[in-house]
Amino acid sequence: MSRGRTTTDRATAAIVRSLAARPYRISSPVVLTAAELAARGGVLPVWADPMALADETEADRLRERRLVAGLVVAIAVVVLLWTVRSLLM
Amino acid sequence: MTDVLTAAPDVAEIGRGVLVAVLLAFVAFGAIPVVAGLAQFLLIPMHAVRNHYRETGPYLPNVAVLVPAWNEAAVLTASVDRLMALDYPPDRLRVFVVDDASTDETPAVMASLGERFPGRVVHLRREKGGEGKAHTLNHGLREILADDWMEALLIMDADVIYAPDSLRKMTRHLADPTVGAVTAYIREGSEDAHGLTRFIGFDYLAAQAASRRAQNVAGAMACLAGGAQLHSRENLEAIGGQIDTSSLAEDTVTTFRTQLAGRRVVFEPHARVLAEEPAGIDALWKQRLRWARGNVQITSMYRHLWFRKSVHPGLGGFFFGVFWFAILLLPVAMLLTSIGLVGLYLLDSDLAATVFGAAVFVPVATFVFMITMTISVDPRVGLKVWKEALLFPGVVSFAVLTGATFPMLVPWGGGDSSGWTLFVYSWLVLCVPAAFLVRKLELTRWGHRLAPLGLYLVGFGPMMCAITVDAYVKEYRGAAMTWDKTEKTGRVSV
């Protein structure tokens, strides 16, 4: 039995709407001194380069596509088992 | 009188029909967890297109890492060293270790770490300890929230090791103001993985890397991993700034509170965290019993939530409710299936065979999806534990499933096969007490070496069901909620 929408539910929905309307959180720019950069062998760390951070996220997003390959293999195995079973029975 | 006597066979027939219908309903009820499992594994591939990556941003907040520690001297140095080496702006990372009145070398280890990383590693000591993890976390939370510096808080366990890029992969999701908390992919990290730790390795793949992707897609997260949960400061303050101390599943309560307060919880599968897991069946049992009892407590605590979308669109949704209860009531489902099949066999063996034959391919398909999808989420680990994946339900169940799918392969299945058939129908429930026996076997002097063999025969899955049954019993009896800490030896390495 549904208890319907309560005051609390409406308050939560209002919070969700207000959060969605807020701007994205940003952090202050990372400042890397020449000495710190030298200590890292002159290689800019990923966290100091917003473009590198964006590339990393895009790579992770694209990596998720392998799940589709997993689905294809799963379907293929199930179909194969079903076919073998049907042929043998 | 004559009329009654002539009507008697009809009454018997009706009674038999009702009984058959009830038994069929038992079998159908028992199939719900299997179908729910299949639905969950079908959701996972959708994570390829339905994920949170497009809503992330290059957000690197000041992160306070909160580490509860009780007698963790063996693992603390390695954990803190790893944290200090994280690929994250050093001036935005501080570690707070809350020492829960440790009696080992923890204070000395922390003093040394404090000297090595001044201002970045803080030792907070509780003089009165032993109240449980949530109390320890709350001690640290009070200290950290009293200062404005922290913008995000990472709660972790003392023994876990974060991959260098993991923290910034978690913080990027907090750029989205609708996200309150992020969790990472914890995987078993023992270097010397053997039977039990390989089973745990597969279990973590299925329950964390795979299942949490499905929860991302469904828009409702069941649990932030206790050893890897990142909260925005805003979220912590919205949920009261304290961790629940009334249950054994404080991380699940935190997860639910976050979502019920209107914020999202996201799983980041590419933030990898290694954890040391129990090396023995008894230690594993105690750990999982705590989790299972916690889930029973949560079910009661949030009884107003289940299947009520008006309370929360995700947590109160139909699918989340089915997934939740499919795990919680799995032992009941197995029992009812067994009763249903054995009862049908006794009433009408042909009908039982027809029902079993028609239904058996559903668990087979679910099993195939479970293994394939789970391995595909992390092929490197998946290919190491593929044998344990196949034998997750146990050698006996695997043989039963194979024999039921391909009856012609069972040499003793033909002719008078009533013994084999009854065994197949009843093993679903018999495997649960068998799992109890395997645990008992490990505790005996002579059986200690045979227990791993018993685990492979009975299976890791049935053992988890047995632990759930134990949790029901302990909760029903109101047994004391003790915090049985898993012994850590520092076996984990990257």
Model pLDDT, residue B483: 58
- Give the C-alpha separation, B462 to B34, whole Å: 14
Asked if B146 and B241 count as a contact pair (C-beta separation under 8 A), the reply is no
Instruction: Give the residue extent of every domain in chain A.
Output: 7-88
Q: What is the DSSP letter of B415?
A: S
Task: Estimate to the nearest angstrom the gap between the alpha carbon of B458 and the chain centroid.
Answer: 19
Domains recognised in chain B with CATH numbers: 13-36+333-477 (no CATH), 54-321 (3.90.550.10)
- Set of chain B residues whose Cβ sits within 8 Å of the Cβ of A81: 364, 368, 405
Instruction: Measure CA B379 to chain center.
Output: 20
Q: Which residues contact B58 (CB under 8 A, 6 or more apart)?
A: A27, A50, A53, A54, B172, B175
Which residue is associated with the tokens 């976050």? B258
Angle formed at CA B35 by CA B33 and CA B39, multiple of 5 degrees: 110
Q: Say if the Cβ atoms of B51 and A61 lie within 8 Å.
A: yes
Residue ranges in chain B modelled with pLDDT below 50: none
Q: Does B312 touch chain A (CB under 8 A)?
A: yes
> Is A2 a residue whose pLDDT tops 50?
no
Measured in whole angstroms, how far is the alpha carbon of residue B215 from the centre of its chain? 13
HSE-CB for B443 with a 13 A CA cutoff = 9
Say if residues A24 and B55 touch (Cβ distance below 8 Å). Answer: no
Kindly write down the DSSP assignment for every residue of B10-67, as one continuous string: HHHHHHHHHHHHHHHHHHHHHHHHHHHHHHHHHHGGGGGTSSSGGG-------EEEEE
Residue closest to B221 by CA, chosen among B322, B292, B153, B320: B320
**Which pLDDT value is given to residue B311?**
87
- Closest residue of B to A29, CA-based? B60
**CA distances, B463 to each of B77, B288, B457 (Å):** 34, 10, 11
Find the length of chain A. Answer: 89
Best of B38, B41, B310 to mutate (most A CBs within 10 Å, chain A): B310
Using a CB–CB cutoff of 8 Å, tell me whether B219 touches chain A. Answer: no
Cα separation, B160 vs B78, in Å, equals 9
- Answer yes or no: do B232 and A25 touch at CB < 8 A: yes
Beta-carbon separation of B89 and A48 below 8 A: yes
* B311/A contact by beta carbon, under 8 A: yes
The predicted pLDDT at position B487 comes to 59
Q: Is residue B122 within 8 Å of B95, Cβ to Cβ?
A: yes
Chain A interface, best mutation among B178, B231, B272, B354, by max A CB count within 10 A: B178
User: Which B-chain residues 225-254 have CB contacts (< 8 A) with chain A?
Assistant: 232
Closest residue by Cα to residue B94 from B68, B122, B58, B61: B122
CB-nearest partner of A16 from B87, B174, B262: B262
The whole-number pLDDT of residue B118 equals: 94
Per the CB < 8 A criterion, the answer to whether B425 and B341 are in contact is yes
- Note whether A63 contacts B270, CB cutoff 8 Å: yes
CA distances from B430 to B120, B275, B334, B434 (A): 54, 32, 10, 6
Residue B399: HSE in the Cβ half-sphere, 13 Å Cα cutoff: 16
pLDDT score recorded for residue B416: 54
Residue A26, CA distances (Å) to A22, A23, A30, A54, B171 in order:
12, 9, 11, 14, 11
Interface probe with B: pick from A46, A57, A63, A66, most Cβ of B within 10 Å: A57
pLDDT of residue B454: 93
ipTM over 0.90? The verdict is no
How many angstroms separate the CA atoms of A56 and A75, rounded?
Answer: 31
CB neighbours (10 Å) of residue B127?
7
The strand pair at B161-162 and B264-275 is best described as antiparallel
Give the number of other Cβ atoms within 10 Å of residue B51's Cβ: 21
